[in-house]
Amino acid sequence: MLGRTANGLFWMFRYIERAENTARLIDAGLRMSLTRMDGQEEDWESVLRSSGVFGAYSENRSEVTSADAVNYLLRDKSNPSSVLSAIEAARNNGRMVRTALTREAWEATNECYLDIKAQLSRRVPNADMPAVIDNIKQRTGLIRGAFHGTMLRTERYNFSRIGTFIERADNTARILDVKYYVLLPANSYVGSSLDNVQWESILRSVSAHRSYGWVYEDDYKPSNIADFLILNGRMPRSLAYCYDKINANLSYLEKQYGTRKSCHDTAAATQGMLREREIQSIMDTGLHEFLQDFISQNSRVAAEISEAYRFYQD
């Protein structure tokens, strides 16, 4: 398969996942701000920093406001990671590799773009925000459903899935990092009802509230929630689950092409680290530091995959 096609599929599904997870990050910020009596602008600065766009946001703005931060993350075309930009980039990549997609997968992508573009043609009122975020999650979910239900399990499928889980791992780490970066007002709140509400909000933002309750019986301990989102291999948005899937799809490519690349070893090492670590050691050494290290390692895996399979060469 041409490197250009592999690149298009990989990034198409990274952008689809990015659009959904940016919406989830906005949702996390909105839910958190509801628990705060002051300092809401600091909350949104933390969301912008965790999404990696604070520097670009600040270039043309002297202060952070909740309205501007949400608009920048949701629909600002100068932000390549905004929901609208990501959906458009996903469609452009899908159009480039149109013959590598089933009709159902392409139509779901095109309809998602047209619907969300119309919905985000103007600033979204606060009252409409929950419905808009839900629609983004539903539309991107329809793309994945159409793709998963109709595509042959070939290297096309594997590159698409790897892109999905590279992006999902990155975004789960960033959403979890929001909690520890700024949003907890002070150490005195740790273990309080406010702290518990904020942790519950994180779970709801990644659609993990009910499944968490099945495992931990609604015991909202920070270490339990971090364990669930980092190390629980049964939770489909956890870092461990993402790396199980990345390695599974890389192993299919290894069999397909008959060769093992450095990216296989780096991804396997990341998977091994997640299997061997215990949550208490992560919390003791620093959750924020662990998440930042993971984000860097995840980016390295993506870069090595791009190089190994010549994404920018034919």
Cα–Cα–Cα angle for 173, 174, 175, rounded to 5 degrees: 95
Cα–Cα–Cα angle for 283, 286, 287, rounded to 5 degrees: 70
Average pLDDT over residues 306-312: 90
* pLDDT(179) > 80: no
Q: What is the pLDDT of residues 243-271, one digit of tens each?
A: 999 999 999 999 999 999 999 999 999 99
Torsion-angle region of residue 60: left (phi > 0), alpha (psi -120 to 50) or beta?
A: alpha
The set of residues, in sequence order, having a beta carbon less than 8 Å from that of 201 and lying 6+ positions away, is 28, 31, 32, 34, 35
Q: What is the pLDDT of residues 201-237, one digit of tens each?
A: 778 778 888 899 999 887 778 888 889 999 999 999 9
Name the DSSP letter for residue 51: T
For helices 129-150 and 3-33, angle between their N-to-C axes, nearest 10 degrees:
150
- What count of other Cβ atoms lies within 10 Å of the Cβ of residue 22? 26
Q: What is the pLDDT of residues 117-160, one digit of tens each?
A: 999 999 999 899 999 999 999 999 999 999 999 999 999 999 99
Q: What is the pLDDT of residues 102-121, one digit of tens each?
A: 999 999 999 999 999 999 99
